[in-house]
Amino acid sequence: MRIIAGDHRGRTILGPKDMQTTRPIIDRVKEALFNRLTSLGLLQPDGDSAGWSVVDVFSGTGSLGLEALSRGAASCTFVDQDRSAIGLLNENIEALGLTDRAQIVQGSALAGYWSASLQPGSIQVAFIDPPYVMMQDDEQRANVLAMVEQMRPILEQGGVAVLRTPVEVTCEEVPGYDGPATADYGGMRLHFFQTPLDEA
């Protein structure tokens, strides 16, 4: 695994040990994802994204959040409950010199308490990358979508929650968001939930 753009372009990062539980996003899809965020006005093409804040939920070893930090995000809150993944995430953050811009919350992403420390409207992008097996189960998928709804207040107007699932998974609309718009890449699907912009 590696950072593909920004200040830390080309740097290798530690990946998950259990590839059945966590499937790292491949470079081609990661690039397409960040291009989409740029087209939505959430990331500047020149990498100047001062003030841009993100959360990386079900973060694993931090591939998406670290990519955002490399591209200029001011801060990232990482949320995961797996002790091994958190250990590797800490190593990645320290190796890249990003300890002053990263916050780690170890605990269940679905519990929702992690968002209490974040100011309303302070987050531009939320990366949500649960284990595939969770999204293939109807009850657990409903729980994830309920979490997406509950985190709506921390997103700014026009902010985006990006959910990654297996390609066969279809997600219904979530109250408080437009979409989801979807994009398929091989065996994976990205769902883009965007908070409405103020019409004024």
pLDDT in tens, 4-48: 999 999 999 998 876 555 567 899 999 999 999 988 888 765 555
Domain assignment present for residue 13? The answer is: no
- CA 12 → CA 56, 63, 92, 148, distances in Å? 19, 10, 9, 30
Q: Would you say residue 169 lies in a domain?
A: yes
Per-residue pLDDT of 46-65, as tens digits, reads 555 557 899 999 999 999 99
3 has a pLDDT exceeding 90: yes
Residue 17 domain-assigned (yes or no): no
Q: For position 154, what pLDDT does the model report?
A: 96
Percentage of residues in the chain having pLDDT higher than 70: 92
Q: Is residue 154 part of a domain?
A: yes
Instruction: Report if residue 21 sits inside a domain.
Output: no
Q: From CA 60, how far away is CA 85, in angstroms rounded?
A: 5
**Is residue 45 situated within a structural domain?**
no
CB neighbour burial string for 72-99, b if at least 16 within 10 angstroms, e if fewer: bbebbbbbbebeebbebbbebbeebebe
Q: Answer whether residue 68 shows pLDDT above 60.
A: yes
Better-predicted residue by pLDDT, 111 or 24 = 111
Residue-level pLDDT at 65: 97
Q: Which residue range(s) make up the domain with 90?
A: 27-40+50-194
Rounded Cα distance, 42 and 37, in Å: 5
Whether 187 is covered by a domain: the verdict is: yes
Among candidates 84, 92, 35, which has minimal Cα distance to 62?
92
Number of domains in the chain: 1
Token duo for residue 41: 């006005």
Interior CA angle at 90 toward 87 and 88, to 5°? 40
- The answer to whether position 20 is within a domain reads no
CATH number, domain of 120, equals 3.40.50.150
